[in-house]
């Protein structure tokens, strides 16, 4: 059986090919060290707990979670060039106006301006946007899957309740955007400027803001899970009521957070950032810092 113990306690590694490529199944030996190792490293209490969990699984005839053939999470890799997209050769030029509830499959929106048009409820699958300007475009409840946008301008657009997955914004500008209630999963923003973007009550998971400027961005009441900001500058970014989990702020060049400091619970920050935010933390907790 893949991932099972051998009689000598050795592990087997099986490579399988699935939709996301090759992935490896590790046996419980790779994930859970033998009880003897735990006993020496972590003490008898944890070792006894590991033995109890193993005995319970074997007694019930169940498969341990580490035996199940579940592919590991894979970070989304956003290419910088159009030619490097896996669907680049399938792209077809798009002409004409946008339409609500339309399905756009492998469409290439290259240049041009779309002003005060509506594509509410539309689906964009494996599409590319290069040098496009969207102004006042209504994209409420639109779905974007494997979409790549480069050097575009999205201004005063309605993206509320939209869904984004495995997509990327490279070197673009997003300003005056209403994206409250939206859902973003495995999305990359690289070298972008986000200004006056409303992401209240949005759900972000595995999202990366890389070398970006975030100014007056509102994450109020949003849920951020495994979100990171490497090389990005945050100015007037609001987190009031937000819920953060495994989100990493250590790589941010600057943390300008006027409020919502208690929303940082669940985030990871550096010791330097902690010292910089200490006065705001004290104010949020009602602590008066006063020297003699």
pLDDT (tens digit, 9 = 90+) per residue, 211-225? 999 999 999 999 999
| CA 242-247-251 angle, 5° bins | 120
- The arithmetic mean of pLDDT across residues 15-20, rounded, is 39
Give the global pTM. Answer: 0.73
Residue 196, token pair as written in the block: 């006056």
- The arithmetic mean of pLDDT across residues 241-265, rounded, is 91
* 21-25/14-18 β-pairing: antiparallel
Question: Residues 92, 56: one domain?
Answer: no
* 133-135/113-115 β-pairing: parallel
User: In the predicted model, what is the mean pLDDT of the chain?
Assistant: 81
Question: Residues 88, 136: one domain?
Answer: yes
pLDDT above 70 (res 70): no
pLDDT (tens digit, 9 = 90+) per residue, 128-153? 999 999 999 999 999 999 999 999 99
Question: Residues 270, 212: one domain?
Answer: yes
Q: What is the pLDDT of residue 143?
A: 98
Helix (H, G, I), strand (E, B) or coil at 281: helix
Question: Residues 260, 156: one domain?
Answer: yes
Range of weakest confidence among 45-49, 105-109, 142-146, 235-239: 45-49
Question: Residues 181, 238: one domain?
Answer: yes
Question: Residues 63, 91: one domain?
Answer: no
Range of weakest confidence among 39-48, 106-115, 140-149, 208-217: 39-48
Query: How many CB atoms sit inside 10 A of residue 4's CB?
Result: 13
pLDDT above 60 (res 37): no
Question: Residues 61, 163: one domain?
Answer: no
pLDDT above 60 (res 17): no
Q: What percentage of the chain carries pLDDT values higher than 70?
A: 74
- The arithmetic mean of pLDDT across residues 102-110, rounded, is 98
- The arithmetic mean of pLDDT across residues 250-258, rounded, is 93
pLDDT above 80 (res 111): yes
Q: What is the pLDDT of residue 75?
A: 53
Question: Residues 62, 89: one domain?
Answer: no
Question: Residues 173, 257: one domain?
Answer: yes
Question: Residues 41, 101: one domain?
Answer: no
Number of domains in the chain: 2
Q: What is the pLDDT of residue 283?
A: 79
Q: What is the pLDDT of residue 120?
A: 98
Flag whether 225 is in a domain.
Answer: yes
pLDDT above 50 (res 109): yes
pLDDT above 90 (res 10): no
What is the band of 284 on the pLDDT scale with cuts at 50, 70, 90? confident
What is the band of 262 on the pLDDT scale with cuts at 50, 70, 90? confident
Q: Is the dihedral of CA 235, 156, 182, 19 positive or negative?
A: negative
43 is in which domain, residue-wise?
14-67
Question: Residues 279, 180: one domain?
Answer: yes
Q: What is the pLDDT of residue 93?
A: 97
Burial of 170 (0-12, 13-18, 19+ CB in 10 A): buried
């Amino acid at each position: 059986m893949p991932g099972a113990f051998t009689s000598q306690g050795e592990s087997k590694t099986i490579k399988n090919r699935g939709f996301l490529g090759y992935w490896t199944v590790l046996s419980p030996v790779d994930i859970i060290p033998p009880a003897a190792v735990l006993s020496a490293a972590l003490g008898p209490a944890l070792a006894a707990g590991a033995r109890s969990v193993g005995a319970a699984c074997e007694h019930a005839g169940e498969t341990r979670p580490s035996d199940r053939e579940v592919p590991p999470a894979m970070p989304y890799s956003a290419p910088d060039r159009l030619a490097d997209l896996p669907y680049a050769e399938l792209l077809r030029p798009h002409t004409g106006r946008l339409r609500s509830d339309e399905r756009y499959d492998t469409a290439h929106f290259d240049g041009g301006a779309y002003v005060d048009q509506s594509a509410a409820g539309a689906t964009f699958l494996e599409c590319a946007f290069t040098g496009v300007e969207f102004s006042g475009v209504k994209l409420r409840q639109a779905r974007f899957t494997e979409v790549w946008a480069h050097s575009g301008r999205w201004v005063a657009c309605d993206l509320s309740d939209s869904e984004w997955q495995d997509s990327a914004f490279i070197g673009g500008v997003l300003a005056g955007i209403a994206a409250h209630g939206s859902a973003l999963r495995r999305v990359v923003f690289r070298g972008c400027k986000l200004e006056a973007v409303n992401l209240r009550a949005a759900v972000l998971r595995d999202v990366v803001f890389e070398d970006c400027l975030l100014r007056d961005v509102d994450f109020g009441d949003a849920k951020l899970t495994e979100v990171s900001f490497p090389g990005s500058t945050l100015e007037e970014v609001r987190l009031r009521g937000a819920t953060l989990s495994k989100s990493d702020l250590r790589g941010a060049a600057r943390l300008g957070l006027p409020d919502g400091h208690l929303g940082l619970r669940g985030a990871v920050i550096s010791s330097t950032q902690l010292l910089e935010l200490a006065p705001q933390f004290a104010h949020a907790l009602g602590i008066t810092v006063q020297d003699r």
